[in-house]
Structure 1
Amino acid sequence: MTQTVLITGASTGFGRATAQLFAERGWNVVATMRDPAAGADLSDRPDICVTRLDVQDRDSIDAAVATGIARFGAIDAVVNNAGFGLFGIFEGATREKIQEQFDVNVFGVMDVTRAILPHFRSRGRGTIVNVSSGAGVFGLPMISLYNASKFALEGFSESLSYELRSQGIAVKIVEPGGVLDTRFSARSTDEFGQAPVPQGYEEFVASAARVFEGLRENRLATSADVADVIYEATTDGSDRLRYVATEDIQPLVRARRETSEAAYMAFMRGKFGG
């Protein structure tokens, strides 16, 4: 039987590319987004169901899962892709923005996961793919809140994988870095523009901005490349937990995971000072 995947944040970027790829490879797709009008062109295909899901609205999550099951009979995989990143000095962030960062990137993933688990357990199988980030592996200045949310997602996903393996359900983590064709950096910049830089940080912010500009220049991957890795994680049938999705973050991932703590900290402080 044709398998079905539900994808959050499918209107743009990784989510849209992933929805298109799964459909091209013979899957049914429940492409969810806050504003279904943004995916009107996707809904022209009979194998793609575009429906509303706002990860901050639990009723919309339950409704999207029910819609997907009613349309295609079952859901075999969920890709938790919806997310955004706050950029700026932590001291300048408001309590409301901090809450929103975790509501979307962490609690939203948890709520979608909780909504699909009864269905997966009733069938004795299913796959959950959580889209993390290089920022879930290594810390960077200016994105402490985004880092915190993705570190939380990584810990949650790993712990959950042990629990759900007993139920026949796989959990996977996909870790992309920067790509060329999403609005992620633009939204982060917009958020930064709304947050004040506390006095005394100006020199550090200017220095960090130059490092980030260098990182952006190393971006070579596209959303389609990340979608390929998400598809691999969903379908390879392996016990593998983590998938690094873009080459640009490999040096930082290796530094974090394959060197000593002292060597790693010296490497990072050499980049960012301190």
Structure 2
Amino acid sequence: MPTILITGASSGIGKATALRFQSEGWNVVATMRDPATSDLDHTDTMLVSRLDVTAPSSIKAAVSEAIDRFGSIDVLLNNAGYGAYGPLEAFTTDRIRRQFDTNVIGLLDVTKAVLPHMRASRSGAIINISSIGGQVTFPLGALYHGTKFAVEGLSEALHYELEPLGIRVRIVEPGMIKTDFGGRSFDFAMDESLGDYAPTAEAMGRVFGKLASNPSAPELVADVIWQAANTNSDQLRFRAGPDAVELLDKRKQQDDATFIGSIKALMHD
């Protein structure tokens, strides 16, 4: 029976994916910073354990526990992350580092912890959750988009690096999803002294309201992750949600000036 290890599995995409893979007969290692907050049930096929992607000791412990319990990790889903938005000037260096430590360094550390096991077995799949924000940017998103562009680049490079070892790398790019991204998974910074940015912040509030008017369910992303984990094709990127398909197609077809112009126009509608 194959095993998937998921980071950020307390809610949203991670939780939906844990339930989807369990329903398909897989062993699931559902990890999160505080397992006490999870309503996922410990069963013979579901291990709920602590893993904080910014704490290397917890990563090592969770990976060891998973292998001890189920004997293997066949798929790693790097899902943990959050979004920092706001003017760059409003963020302290500590908050900037936290965004990159969680979304990029943490992802790399978890991947490094799992790779020796996959390399020894000459098999496995690493699925990294990116976003439409990994190829498309919005104003005030320098930090978040910076991390997701990094996830896209490091994943593509790892694809070359790991394919000869029998390890597949996949990128999943969700659009707007009904998750906690706007709550505890969202870090918005603004300062009263930075009034020059207020019109942009107000415009982006309207834009996000429009984009999030019909979000997809986390279960839709879980379906795409299931496909990415089980396909034998060479496909690297998997889009999740009709808005992701539409927006990323538009970005691919248009030059920079045209696409960026369309975002500016959306801000002023």
Tell whether 2:42 aligns with 1:80. Answer: no
Tell whether 2:35 aligns with 1:36. Answer: yes
Contact persistence 2:40–2:48 (CA under 8 A): no
| 1:223 aligned residue | 218
Deviation per CA, 1:162-216: give whole Å up to 9, x if none: 0000111000000001112x11112355x32x53251212222212211111111
User: In structure 1, what residue type is equivalent to 2:65?
Assistant: T
Deviation per CA, 1:225-249: give whole Å up to 9, x if none: 1111111101112110001101123
Please give the alpha-carbon distance, in whole angstroms, between the structure 2 residues aligned to 1:144 and 1:98: 10
| 2:230 aligned residue | 235
Please give the alpha-carbon distance, in whole angstroms, between the structure 1 residues aligned to 2:84 and 2:77: 22
Deviation per CA, 1:113-163: give whole Å up to 9, x if none: 100110001000110000011100101112221100000010000001000
CA shift in 2, pair 1:258/1:103, >3 Å? same
Q: Which of residues 248, 252, 255 in structure 1 aligns to 2:250?
A: 255
| 2:54 aligned residue | 56
CA shift in 2, pair 1:33/1:196, >3 Å? same
Please give the alpha-carbon distance, in whole angstroms, between the structure 1 residues aligned to 2:185 and 2:191: 14
Of the structure 1 ranges 84-93 and 262-271, higher mean CA displacement relative to structure 2 is found in 262-271
Please give the alpha-carbon distance, in whole angstroms, between the structure 2 residues aligned to 1:53 and 1:92: 29
User: In structure 1, what residue type is equivalent to 2:202?
Assistant: A
Please give the alpha-carbon distance, in whole angstroms, between the structure 1 residues aligned to 2:32 and 2:248: 31
| 1:27 aligned residue | 26
Contact persistence 2:16–2:222 (CA under 8 A): yes
| 1:195 aligned residue | 190
Q: Which of residues 99, 102, 105 in structure 2 aligns to 1:101?
A: 99
CA shift in 2, pair 1:188/1:27, >3 Å? closer
Please give the alpha-carbon distance, in whole angstroms, between the structure 2 residues aligned to 1:117 and 1:188: 27
Local SS of the residue matching 1:9: coil
Contact persistence 1:28–1:72 (CA under 8 A): yes
Local SS of the residue matching 1:237: coil
Structure 1 segments of 4 or more deviating over 4 A? none
| 1:207 aligned residue | 203
| 1:135 aligned residue | 133
Contact persistence 1:218–1:248 (CA under 8 A): no
Of the structure 1 ranges 135-144 and 99-108, higher mean CA displacement relative to structure 2 is found in 135-144
| 2:114 aligned residue | 116
**RMSD of aligned C-alpha atoms?**
1.4
Q: Which runs of 5+ in 1 are unaligned?
A: none
Q: TM-score, normalised by structure 1?
A: 0.93
Count of residue pairs brought into register by the alignment: 267
Please give the alpha-carbon distance, in whole angstroms, between the structure 2 residues aligned to 1:188 and 1:53: 16
Please give the alpha-carbon distance, in whole angstroms, between the structure 2 residues aligned to 1:15 and 1:211: 26
What's the CA shift for 1:271? 2.3
Of the structure 1 ranges 197-206 and 61-70, higher mean CA displacement relative to structure 2 is found in 197-206
User: In structure 1, what residue type is equivalent to 2:17?
Assistant: T
Please give the alpha-carbon distance, in whole angstroms, between the structure 2 residues aligned to 1:187 and 1:72: 31
Contact persistence 2:81–2:185 (CA under 8 A): no
User: In structure 2, what residue type is equivalent to 1:209?
Assistant: G
User: In structure 2, what residue type is equivalent to 1:205?
Assistant: A
Q: Which of residues 55, 69, 72 in structure 2 aligns to 1:71?
A: 69
Local SS of the residue matching 1:217: coil
What's the CA shift for 1:23? 0.4
Identity of aligned residues (%): 44
Please give the alpha-carbon distance, in whole angstroms, between the structure 2 residues aligned to 1:121 and 1:15: 25
Local SS of the residue matching 2:53: coil
User: In structure 1, what residue type is equivalent to 2:114?
Assistant: I
Q: Which runs of 5+ in 2 are unaligned?
A: none
Q: TM-score, normalised by structure 2?
A: 0.95
What's the CA shift for 1:38? 2.2
Please give the alpha-carbon distance, in whole angstroms, between the structure 2 residues aligned to 1:259 and 1:96: 36
Local SS of the residue matching 2:83: coil
